[in-house]
Structure 1
Amino acid sequence: MVAVRADARRNYEQLVEQARIAFAEFGVEASLDEIARRAGVASGTLYRHFPTRLDLIEAVLAEQIAELVELGRGQLDAEDAFDALATWLRATLTHALTYRGLSAAVMNSALDHEVGLVSTWHARLFEVGAELLARARRAGVVAAEVDEADVLRMVGAIAWAVQDTADSAARAERLFGLLVNGLRA
């Protein structure tokens, strides 16, 4: 195992923290050069750590995605399969609403296996969603034709559709209600 120099680790952490702040302020299309400047490093340092914007987005979201995966795994043992799926989907929607543009930048690339942008994190997220949906199908509480990729795309679409609205939380909740009701068998 190669030891990471303390300054390199500090730079990495500063870049992730400043990206988190910038993404919250400006969305995931925030200027990478500005993120590097705020972190006190050169742009080249940012690109050495994060060759693509998606790499930086994933680093910012890694902890949140891990929490979503853990929540989903915990829901696999819940008594009510439909409520378990709905709970996890709501948490996924809340996550997608965290940063403007997140749903377009991450959700679609995470589901588009042919592009090759599926990271380990997003593959796990997709996997747990598929397990929750399969469990709900087996319990007969979700329509048999419901496809996990379509459901996750719809969650991402809801986040995208409401991202620039004044009442985004209320609209997201209303659209989420329609989605969940449409899943019922």
Structure 2
Amino acid sequence: MSAVPSGSRLRADARRNSEQIRSAAIGAFQGQGLTVPLEQVAEAAGVSKATIFNRFGGRIGLIEAVIEELVASELFAVIDRARAIDDVSERITYYVTALRDLQYRLPAFNDVLLQTYPHSPQLMEICRVGSEANEELIAAAQPLAALRPEFTPGDLHALVVDNALALKHGERPSRDDYDRRTGYLLDGIRGRCAASGGPQPRS
């Protein structure tokens, strides 16, 4: 007769299963977004789908367990780097380019932007922080004519959401085409200071 596993053995197995599931979820979400079938995550982790529910309570709990490492850390690093750039025109170029880079290489970021799972508090908090960063950028740029005078935080939000929808549901462009279009977008939103060589306060 085989011995009954001890409590410590069971706890160790549970921890191992949880880490395997987290690792598998990060890999799957990175490549395919937050809507990837849980059966695929379970298969990659070497567990059953029921184990995911037992350990994390389902998809929302799993998202909560990995979203900070997967998306928040990357987005917040972009925001911090942008804030450290003194020249507001350079800050805009970096911020918009970096956001679009995240969108291209990290499908889970697009699911966050689209608020695909609004019942995830951490996902919605990431959206809130991102919206504040957009507002902060526009507020700094407008008095220096670094952006078109009519350009608003809502416009920036719409541009990144439209891009998220295109990447999630449309044909994926080549990286060269995508980066070229990023340049077109920047040219379209810049104000007169970009052509005059530097920020100029409006009179």
Indicate the TM-score class for this superposition, using the shorter chain for normalisation. Answer: 0.7 to 0.9
What is residue 129 of structure 1 aligned with on the other side?
134
1:147 to 144, 152, 156: 152
Does the alignment pair 1:16 with 2:4?
no
Is 1:92 aligned to 2:89, yes or no?
no
Tell me, what secondary structure is at the counterpart of 1:85?
helix
Normalising by structure 2, we get a TM-score of 0.68
User: Is the 2:82–2:91 contact (alpha carbons within 8 Å) kept by the matching residues of 1?
Assistant: yes
2:40 maps to a residue whose letter is E
RMSD: 3.1
How far, CA to CA, are the matches of 1:101 and 1:62 in structure 2? Answer: 11
The structure whose Rg is larger is 2
Partner of 1:120: 125
Aligned match of 1:161: 166
Percent identity over the alignment?
27
1:178 deviates by: 2.0
Change (3 A) 1:18 1:144: same
Query: How many angstroms apart in 2 are the aligned matches of 1:55 and 1:139?
Result: 44
- Unpaired stretches in structure 1, ≥5 consecutive residues: none
Residue ranges of structure 2 left out of the alignment (5+ in a row): 1-10, 192-203
Which residue of the partner structure matches residue 194 of structure 2?
A: none
Shift of 1:35: 0.7
Q: TM-score with structure 1 length normalisation?
A: 0.74
SS in 1 for 2:36: coil
